[in-house]
Amino acid sequence: MSIADQSVVTPAKSSGSGIQRLALVALIMVLLFVTQSFNAFFAESTDDGLLKTASVRSSPVYMSFVLLQLGLVSMLFLHHVFFKPISMRLLVGLAIGLFALSSMFWSVDAKTTAVPAAIFCYVILAAYVAAVYFDPSAFVRIFFWTAAFIIAASYVLYFTAPSYVIELRDEGGWLSNDQFRGIMVSKNRAGMVFASAVMLALLAAPGRIGPVWRGLIVLLGLLGVVLSNAATALVVLVLILALGFWMRYVRLLRIQIAFTFTIVLLVLVLALPFIDFKELQIFELFGRDGSLTGRDQLWALAIEYGAKRPAFGYGYYGFFSAVPYSPVYSFWDNFRWFITDSFHNSAADVYISLGLSGVAMMCVVCCGAATLIFNRTIDESARTVILLLVHVALIDSMTNFSIFFHNSLPTFIVFYAFFAAGIKYSGDPVSPLARRARGKA
């Protein structure tokens, strides 16, 4: 076992078949986990102070699902590092995860920090395993079919058990007063999956995804975005599809524009809490007010609380602990109509959790993920689509805690791109699926 700066050697041919099948099962399970699919079937409501939350930790079935994938991912990771070089990027990723976990020592409540931080470490590890065993061509195809399954299951329940996939929207919606969250935990998470599936259907390279399936997913995905009433997902569709079509068909300065757009979106994630949007009318086009449904007040408070612990924050997710004398009570005291466990912006939430140190780490990972576009050992269409998924994650992070949230698809996608950017997918492709994707099988 050794350390390599840019290259990660993939599993040997002799063990490829069985290992790759296990890797495929593990990846699908992880994707269902980070999209928080089917959680509503297993979650039980708990009353923690002023905040009522739903948790799956008391469900033996769901915890068995988690432990099984944890075992698979751990085995695949050990199989890789035992025989092959370790990427320097893996060391960076592990350092970030361990930093979040070690924040227990300065957290407002170590118990509140421990579980989310451990899950965050696991998602980082799972992203590395996915990058090692599946190159972006294979990953895109697996992600597409998993998203298709999620969408199909969501619509089946929409007609057979709507209480699991629909919830009332107090402010009213585009088509009705309901919001469609599918089999996911919220309409925001659902909107991102619907929008991402539409983008993949339109822009992923031709291959094993036929035109009929593409068309069906486009229609169901677009309808899902509208039914979800997720304004961020609508913004994603407009911006990402415009950029995607430019990169796919116009192609002028496509690589430079894609990289620059990543940096611009990251800057917006960082700057948004400091911008006063009340004078802007653009959000009315999406049925939202200038305060972004109260997020401006959340962001102002994030800056205020963060200034008290600017270097390392309150511990990963520790700020929202309901233990006596927790700072969250004075935070909640600002609201009478809305109790939240998030500041609804990844930069603000990471600042509160891990301070400026955490924000700097988030920037390193996002910028590192953007370098994927320069990795010429990856099929051009695949790296374009993966980077567009990173863009989706960044746009979602502007108004939600997405990147660096312990159990979220954006965290998994950004870390996958970060690790894949440093892998030389040369010689034998990562997997049999990848060989077929590249036309070598």
* Residues 404 and 269 sit within 8 Å (Cβ to Cβ): no
DSSP-derived letter for residue 288 is -
- Total-model pTM: 0.89
Helix (H), strand (E) at residue 51: strand 51-55
Counting runs of H as helices and runs of E as strands, what totals does the chain give? Answer: 16, 6
* Residues 368 and 121 sit within 8 Å (Cβ to Cβ): no
Lookup: tokens for 71: 């075992």
Domain residue extents for the chain: 15-136+253-426
Which residues pair with residue 47 across a beta bridge? 52
What is the per-residue pLDDT for 15? 44
What is the per-residue pLDDT for 53? 63
pLDDT tens per residue across all 441 residues of the chain: 445 445 544 443 434 578 899 999 999 999 999 999 988 787 776 555 555 666 777 788 889 999 999 999 999 999 998 888 888 999 999 999 999 999 999 999 999 999 999 999 999 999 999 999 999 999 999 999 999 999 999 999 999 988 888 887 666 555 667 788 889 888 888 889 999 999 999 888 766 678 888 999 999 999 999 888 888 888 888 888 888 888 878 878 888 899 999 999 999 999 988 886 655 544 554 455 555 566 778 888 999 999 999 999 999 999 998 888 888 888 888 876 667 888 989 999 999 999 999 999 999 999 999 999 999 999 888 999 999 999 999 999 998 999 999 999 999 999 999 999 999 986 443 443 444 444 443
Assign residue 10 a region: left if phi > 0, alpha if psi is -120 to 50, beta otherwise? beta
Lookup: tokens for 57: 């930790």
Tokens 């899950």 belong to which residue? 119
What is the per-residue pLDDT for 361? 98
Assign residue 171 a region: left if phi > 0, alpha if psi is -120 to 50, beta otherwise? alpha
What is the per-residue pLDDT for 429? 39
What is the per-residue pLDDT for 411? 97
Beta strands in 291-410 (DSSP E): none
